[in-house]
Structure 1
Amino acid sequence: MRETAAWIDIGAPPARVWEVLTDFGHYGDWNPFVREASGSVTVGARLRLRTHPAGRRPRTVRPRVCAVVPGRELGWRGRLLVPGLLDREHRFVLTDLDGGGTRLVQHERFTGVLVPLLRRRILAGTGDLDTFNQALRKRAEAVCAAA
């Protein structure tokens, strides 16, 4: 098993951050890592995410939503080909900060027989999480300022 995480503090309330995070139809307007996204924020729903990892070819992934707590947590799971080869669980957790802001934590957990072979690639993905977080902060703060 291998885990990675990245967090950021955002000058917008959790409800506003949640609104931006779950508005998949507008990801292309602000998100340099996940440029296309579609699907429903419903446990069991299949998402379609077009990612652009730094230094690698774009790819489309189709994870299944595994956790939804509106305004607080969104999670999905995906796998490479068959269970146990390379499984990935991704979670976003939003918590209140004093002063009305939000702390967003992205957490990824990788399991399966390929994890030891892909260790470097998994760790390199932390930069993509940071890119996503920075762009989300910029968008949520702009939306909050415009409201």
Structure 2
Amino acid sequence: MRLFSSEVLIQARAASVWHVITDGGNFGVWESGILEADGAVRAGDTVRITPSGGRRSVKLRVRQVSGNVMTWHRRLPFGLWSRTRTFTLTPQSRQTRLTVVEKHRGLLLPFSKHASADLFLDRFTDAVRRRSEILDRATPETRLMQHR
């Protein structure tokens, strides 16, 4: 098994962060590393993700494990290879800790090229942080508080 992870503290509410990581229609708008997502990013659905950089698209199964935990899963048959990306949001007052862990397993693992997965995850979590903080400031609740 290979394990990659990234963690960031976001100055935004968990609801804003959750909105960013489940709003597949806008993945291509911000620097998510994903060119487009075809399908809904919600529990039980399958979404086709096209990574930026010309790599081919992949189908992922989305599962919401609990309130603030979601997984994206892809696998090849017969235990040849699987990848699970787990998103965990931990609310802390008006901040949210986002942890993203990616696990790669299977018989083909020694032949896979995922040496830069940590770098991609770090870029992704940083981009989620930036977008969430911008969107959280733009909520109606926040704008009312700023005008008082």
Q: In the aligned structure 2, how far is the partner of 1:65 from the partner of 1:144? A: 24
The count of residues paired between Structure 1 and Structure 2 equals: 139
- How far residue 68 of structure 1 moved from its aligned partner, in angstroms, is 4.5
Moved over 4 A (4+): none
1:8-38 CA-partner distances (Å, limit 9, x unpaired): 1110010110011111111111134112113
| Matching of residue 137 in structure 1 with residue 129 in structure 2 | yes
Q: Which has the larger radius of gyration?
A: 2
- How far residue 85 of structure 1 moved from its aligned partner, in angstroms, is 1.2
TM-score (norm 2): 0.85
Gaps in structure 2 of 5+ consecutive residues: 140-148
| Matching of residue 63 in structure 1 with residue 60 in structure 2 | yes
Q: What residue in structure 2 maps to residue 85 of structure 1?
A: 80
1:45-91 CA-partner distances (Å, limit 9, x unpaired): 111111136xxx42201011133434x111121024x2411111111
1:17-56 pair list within 5 angstroms:
17-52=17-52
2:71 to 75, 98, 101: 75
Q: In the aligned structure 2, how far is the partner of 1:102 from the partner of 1:143? A: 14
Gaps in structure 1 of 5+ consecutive residues: none
Alignment root-mean-square deviation, CA: 1.7
- Could you tell which deviates more after superposition, 61-70 or 43-52? 61-70
TM-score (norm 1): 0.85
Residue identity over aligned pairs, in percent, reads 35
